[in-house]
């Protein structure tokens, strides 16, 4: 008996290792989902943003592609922000979506989809196959593109009448997915580093994408180079307690260049040059400092504001450089300001929250962060030294961390995921709590309840907008009741002395839970910057 498009597609998905389907279904997806083979599992999320966001967490933690099936044009209406996140996070998602029956598309029926046109700037490839029998091959092609470095999402729209059409089986293939950096260009960087008096490394998220953690540590130790984290890091990619770790860079041109001014050679590994937030004009790097960027992203190479860019695998590049450079003699250890031990207060500060959390978390706990105004305190007081321990939003679109945490925990059953999330941020994809309960993944959600959009207050002060702005307060949200409504264990912490017992109790939970912690309003700085950096004036 001839195979159908549906049968061949499930065979292809199995061959490619994508047997989990993250989705939210509608009429146009039902012909695909019917009779799902028993070795597949379907992870339902109650909104497309959450379905794609959970898949994103799963894919980046597993370092392999995840399969997503969303509903028709709603896939990009509701799911677009997660697709944009996947684009910026280099998350390999193979996103499929239903389309109306081919035989009536021309008549613009209910639920007809132009998703392929809408999604195009944020995917590596978007396609609606011209023939039904091309669907399995399109999914395979999408998979190979999604997993090619730099990884990212692809999008395939599939008319609902395609699934029962006859189709020939598709032969399994292998496609390699990394590219070696250009050795001539790397030699130029090696020559500059050889004679550098005070080299520095900027560690970016792509280090983790390219499994380059250990190579980068070895290179930094070999060169005795200070290591800074890229601005607004989506991952932490260097051990925080390492003696060469020198903290994070500020996300604005002039202050960032000032931070690096003491270095004569700067090697940016796996990051853009640079990711800015507020516009504080200035040179990207001090005049006279030689800047080299090694990135797996041709786009980041092309858009860098300064320096020489080399495209290729970061681990291979770091090893190449170490093999060709003299090991430097150990220098004095870098002195970092000892952070002051935060004290309890009422309401408590986020500094106290994170320093308490840091004392109680298992060493291999994973942080899924989305707490805009308390990023600085989290950065100061949470220590993480292992790969795959810290994930944050890269696009700036809120609604990232609740689904992300669920996907990370599904992919990491032996490590605990802790998700500190602002009370505002949590609301953009709150229904992912339901999937956490249904999947019984033991994420600990720490809801940071300051009752407002503190980060916006901080930005207003920073840029002289002033305080006469509507839409900043968000009173009256009881996240404990919301979580309980989704079937999740949840409780409130109001006093500082209740915090440690609550965290200990959460760590004993077998399923997910949420702790809503009342804290002081934040926003004293803007992404770590205050008026001293000469911010733009929008007043």
The binder of ligand TPP chosen from 113, 178, 454, 516 (CB under 6 A): 454
Task: State the minimum distance, in angstroms, from the CB of residue 174 to ligand TPP.
Answer: 39
Query: Which of 32/453 has CB closer to ligand TPP?
Result: 453
Which residues does 106 contact at the CB level (< 8 Å), separation at least 6? Answer: none
Q: Which of 436, 429, 440, 431 is nearest to 406 (CA)?
A: 436
Task: State the minimum distance, in angstroms, from the CB of residue 371 to ligand TPP.
Answer: 5
The binder of ligand TPP chosen from 155, 453, 462, 486 (CB under 6 A): 453
Query: Which of 277/491 has CB closer to ligand TPP?
Result: 277
Cα gap 222→464, rounded to integer Å: 45
Which of these ranges, 161-169, 194-202, 422-430, 497-505, lies near ligand TPP under the rule CB under 6 A? 422-430
Dump the DSSP string for 106-152.
Answer: GG--TT---HHHHHGGGSS-EE--SSGGGHHHHHHHHHHHHTSSSP-
Which of these ranges, 117-125, 300-308, 335-343, 390-398, lies near ligand TPP under the rule CB under 6 A? 390-398
Rule CB under 6 A: say whether 516 interacts with ligand TPP: no
Rule CB under 6 A: say whether 519 interacts with ligand TPP: no
Q: At what angle do helices 314-324 and 183-194 cross, to 10 degrees?
A: 50
The binder of ligand TPP chosen from 98, 136, 231, 372 (CB under 6 A): 372
The binder of ligand TPP chosen from 44, 258, 397, 507 (CB under 6 A): 397
Q: Which of 387, 350, 349 is nearest to 367 (CA)?
A: 387
Rule CB under 6 A: say whether 204 interacts with ligand TPP: no
Cα gap 334→2, rounded to integer Å: 68
The token pair at 505 is 């109790």
Residue with tokens 């922000």: 81
| Cα dihedral 348, 351, 353, 356 sign | negative
Residue number of the CB closest to ligand TPP reads: 422
Rule CB under 6 A: say whether 422 interacts with ligand TPP: yes
Rule CB under 6 A: say whether 371 interacts with ligand TPP: yes
Rule CB under 6 A: say whether 203 interacts with ligand TPP: no
Rule CB under 6 A: say whether 443 interacts with ligand TPP: no
Rule CB under 6 A: say whether 425 interacts with ligand TPP: yes
Which residues does 173 contact at the CB level (< 8 Å), separation at least 6? Answer: 140, 144
Rule CB under 6 A: say whether 376 interacts with ligand TPP: no
The token pair at 123 is 């995917």
C-alpha 210, offset from chain centre: 15
Rule CB under 6 A: say whether 297 interacts with ligand TPP: no
Query: Which of 172/469 has CB closer to ligand TPP?
Result: 469
The binder of ligand TPP chosen from 271, 456, 488, 517 (CB under 6 A): 456
* Strands 93-99 and 154-159, bridge-based pairing: parallel
* Strands 154-159 and 199-203, bridge-based pairing: unpaired
Structural contact between residues 373 and 365, judged by C-beta atoms closer than 8 angstroms: no
Query: Which of 412/460 has CB closer to ligand TPP?
Result: 460
Rule CB under 6 A: say whether 245 interacts with ligand TPP: no
Q: What is the CA radius of gyration of the chain?
A: 24
Collapsing DSSP to helix, strand or coil, 51 comes out as: helix
Rule CB under 6 A: say whether 528 interacts with ligand TPP: no
Collapsing DSSP to helix, strand or coil, 522 comes out as: coil
Rule CB under 6 A: say whether 424 interacts with ligand TPP: yes
Query: Which of 151/373 has CB closer to ligand TPP?
Result: 373
Rule CB under 6 A: say whether 526 interacts with ligand TPP: no
Kindly list the residues in this chain that would bind ligand TPP in the complex (CB under 6 A).
371-374, 396-399, 422-425, 428, 450, 452-456, 522
């Amino acid at each position: 008996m001839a195979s159908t498009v549906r049968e061949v597609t499930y065979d292809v998905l199995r061959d490619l290792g994508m047997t989990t389907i993250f989705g939210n279904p509608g009429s146009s997806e039902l012909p695909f989902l019917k009779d799902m083979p028993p070795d597949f599992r379907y992870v339902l999320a109650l909104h497309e943003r959450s379905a794609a966001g959970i898949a994103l967490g799963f894919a980046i933690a597993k370092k392999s592609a995840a399969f997503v099936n969303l509903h028709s044009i709603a896939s990009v209406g509701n799911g677009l922000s997660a697709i944009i996140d996947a684009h910026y996070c280099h998350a390999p998602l193979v996103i499929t979506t239903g389309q109306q029956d081919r035989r009536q598309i021309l008549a613009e029926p209910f639920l007809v989809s132009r998703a392929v046109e809408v999604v195009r700037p944020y995917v590596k490839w978007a396609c609606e196959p011209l023939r039904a029998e091309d669907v399995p091959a399109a999914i395979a092609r999408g998979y190979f593109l999604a997993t090619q470095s730099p990884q990212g999402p692809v999008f395939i729209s599939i008319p609902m009448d395609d699934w029962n059409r006859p189709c020939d089986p598709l032969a399994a293939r292998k496609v390699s997915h990394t590219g070696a950096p250009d050795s001539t260009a790397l030699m130029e960087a090696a020559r500059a580093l050889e004679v550098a008096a005070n080299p520095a490394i900027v560690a970016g998220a792509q280090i983790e994408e390219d499994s380059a953690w250990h190579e980068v540590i070895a290179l930094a130790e070999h060169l005795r180079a200070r290591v800074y984290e890229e601005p607004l890091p989506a991952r932490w990619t260097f051990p925080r307690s390492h003696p060469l770790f020198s903290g994070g860079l500020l996300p604005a041109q002039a202050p960032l260049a000032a931070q690096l001014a003491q270095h004569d050679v700067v090697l940016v590994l796996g990051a853009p040059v640079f990711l800015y937030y507020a516009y504080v004009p200035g040179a990207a790097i001090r005049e006279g400092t030689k800047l080299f960027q090694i990135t797996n992203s041709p786009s980041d190479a092309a858009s860098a504001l300064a320096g020489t860019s080399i495209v290729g695998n970061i681990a291979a590049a770091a090893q190449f450089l170490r093999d060709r450079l003299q090991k430097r003699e150990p220098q004095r250890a870098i002195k970092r300001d000892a952070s002051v031990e935060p004290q309890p207060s009422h309401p408590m500060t986020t500094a106290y929250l994170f320093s308490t959390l840091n004392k109680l978390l298992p060493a291999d706990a994973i942080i899924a962060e989305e707490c805009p105004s308390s990023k600085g305190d989290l950065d100061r007081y949470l220590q993480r030294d292992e790969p795959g321990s810290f994930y944050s939003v890269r696009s700036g679109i809120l609604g990232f961390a609740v689904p992300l945490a669920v996907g990370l925990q599904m992919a990491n059953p032996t490590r605990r995921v802790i998700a500190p999330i602002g009370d505002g941020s949590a609301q953009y994809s709150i229904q992912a709590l339901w999937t956490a309960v249904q999947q019984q993944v033991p994420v600990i959600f720490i809801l940071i309840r300051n009752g407002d959009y503190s980060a916006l207050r901080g930005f207003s002060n920073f840029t002289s907008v002033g305080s006469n702005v509507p839409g900043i307060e968000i009173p009256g949200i009881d996240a404990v009741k919301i979580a309980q409504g989704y079937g999740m264990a949840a409780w409130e912490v109001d006093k500082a002395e209740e915090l440690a017992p609550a965290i200990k109790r959460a760590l004993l939970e077998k399923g997910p839970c949420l702790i809503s912690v009342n804290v002081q309003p934040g926003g004293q700085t803007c992404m770590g910057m205050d008026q001293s950096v000469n911010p733009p004036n929008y007043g």
